[in-house]
Structure 1
Amino acid sequence: METPRKGPTGETIDTPRHRALGSDSRVTILRLVRGAAGGITAAEVAARTGQHLSTTRAHLDRLADSGLLVKARASGGQPGRPAWRYRAAAGDAAPAPAPYRALAAALLDHLTGAAGDVREAAAQAGQGWGRHLAAAAPQAGDPVDTVAGVLDGLGFSPQLQPTAAGATTAELHLRTCPFLELVGQNPDAMCGLHLGVVRGILEHDDAPADSVVLEPFGAPGACLLRLPARTPAPGGQP
């Protein structure tokens, strides 16, 4: 049984975070996750701690429920259903503009308990949102730049990564998540929504959208977004 923690004046501190940290095992796990910049799976934590996998999952989910961790799956690009990856929650991310947060929260409420593939349903809803955001954004000329501009306006702090000459795929690292607490409530729905937004932006610019991949924690300290790069026309002109 976990012992309630006491504050400096003797009062009992009884918050979800303090209760989650009432276990030495969870404290150890939290340190492991915080040291894994690209996120970590339950199987990886179990291997490093020697705990049974089911016990490890229970500890990780308790930390996620308390808001100390966030978890997500890769959104597309992999066969089967990817394992959950856990990452420490970042407390310094600026929130998204209020209208977008309200829209995301409403969608999350709508999808909670819905039948079928929640992630795909959220992605389909996000596509319409992405087309609307792209139509209101300054015309960048390059669909990748449009995606980066819209995501920057939402608070994702995207960083375009260098690519080799002739590469057909561009990579954006999303350094922050302005919807982080909503991701914690329903990772599949929120990551699916973000994937759909990117697809919608590309569709607005008549760019291919089906091959977009959003990989939560796919890069050190960031989520990884892969999308088609603009293909230069013959003669080197875009």
Structure 2
Amino acid sequence: METPRTGPTGETIDTPRHRALGSDSRARILRLVRAAGGGVTAAEVAAQTGQHLSTTRAHLDRLTEAGLLVKARASGGQPGRPAWRYRATAADPAPAPYRALAAALLDHVSGDAGDVREAAARAGQDWGRHLAAAVPDRQDPVESVVSVLDGLGFSPRRQPPEQTGGTEVHLRTCPFLELVGRSPDAMCGLHLGVVRGILERDGVPAETVVLEPFGAPSACVVRLPAPIARRRP
């Protein structure tokens, strides 16, 4: 077990991060990713740095393992399996109970032999129903989503419909970034399921809800059916 070192002013030196930045190439890549608010692919980084694609991927993975980057699959609405997109980490952690629960769920679904993202979404849906029960019964289902996600630390912001052409909530921070780094597909699926579970109380069909990682500059995007209204019994 490695003992943390301290700097000249007594601060703790995060050895994995310092090691990751011990390469000029990785430091340059980190600056490049930070400058690209919407995230970048390995191919885009390779094109800008002139490095071989496999070398670029190795550097990006090292920065991700050190917690300096997070990656997710962002399709941009296109069919097929999208490439990984990388974004710099910059978020406060979620409250400890939620982090512990998310970690437990991640461990559970990671052992699932099927589609990890879908398994995580099912687990998240149960969690979302539980969280929705703790917020006031609202007329606007989207406001329920915003309230719960705000409590979890996602800094959600509802977008004006005239700007998006639909109903969108932008998640400007992710309080579970270190868990996303462990299993991006599972954690993004878990977050999608949470939103579905919240909306289930208001009769919104789960299959109409989409979570697009890095779907907007500096934000992941929750896309909801438009118009969205509460279904009365």
Please confirm whether the aligned pair reaches a TM-score higher than 0.5, indicating the same fold: yes
In 2 relative to 1, CA 22–226 (structure 1 residues): closer, same or farther, beyond 3 Å? Answer: same
In 2 relative to 1, CA 48–76 (structure 1 residues): closer, same or farther, beyond 3 Å? Answer: closer
In 2 relative to 1, CA 34–76 (structure 1 residues): closer, same or farther, beyond 3 Å? Answer: closer
SS at match of 2:142: helix
Q: Deviations over 1:57-81 (max 9, x none)?
A: 1100000001111111138954221
- The answer to whether the aligner puts 1:212 opposite 2:209 as a matched pair is yes
Work out the CA distance in 2 between the residues paired with 1:76 and 1:197.
21
- The answer to whether the aligner puts 1:16 opposite 2:37 as a matched pair is no
Q: Deviations over 1:111-139 (max 9, x none)?
A: 33432211111001111111111122112
CA contact (8 A) 1:76 1:214 kept: no
SS at match of 1:136: coil
Aligned residues: 221
Cross-structure match for 1:137:
135
Identity, in percent, stands at: 78
Of structures 1 and 2, the larger Rg is shown by 1
Work out the CA distance in 1 between the residues paired with 2:14 and 2:131.
42
CA contact (8 A) 2:112 2:119 kept: no
Cross-structure match for 1:43:
43
SS at match of 2:70: strand
Deviation at 1:96, TM superposition (A): 2.1
In 2 relative to 1, CA 181–143 (structure 1 residues): closer, same or farther, beyond 3 Å? Answer: same
Report the aligned-residue RMSD. 2.4
Q: Which runs of 5+ in 1 are unaligned?
A: 1-5, 234-238
Q: Which runs of 5+ in 2 are unaligned?
A: 1-5
Q: Deviations over 1:180-216 (max 9, x none)?
A: 1111111111110000111111112101321222122
In 2 relative to 1, CA 184–81 (structure 1 residues): closer, same or farther, beyond 3 Å? Answer: same
Work out the CA distance in 1 between the residues paired with 2:96 and 2:130.
16
Aligned residue runs from structure 1 range 86-105, under 5 A: 86-90=86-90, 93-105=91-103
In 2 relative to 1, CA 129–231 (structure 1 residues): closer, same or farther, beyond 3 Å? Answer: closer
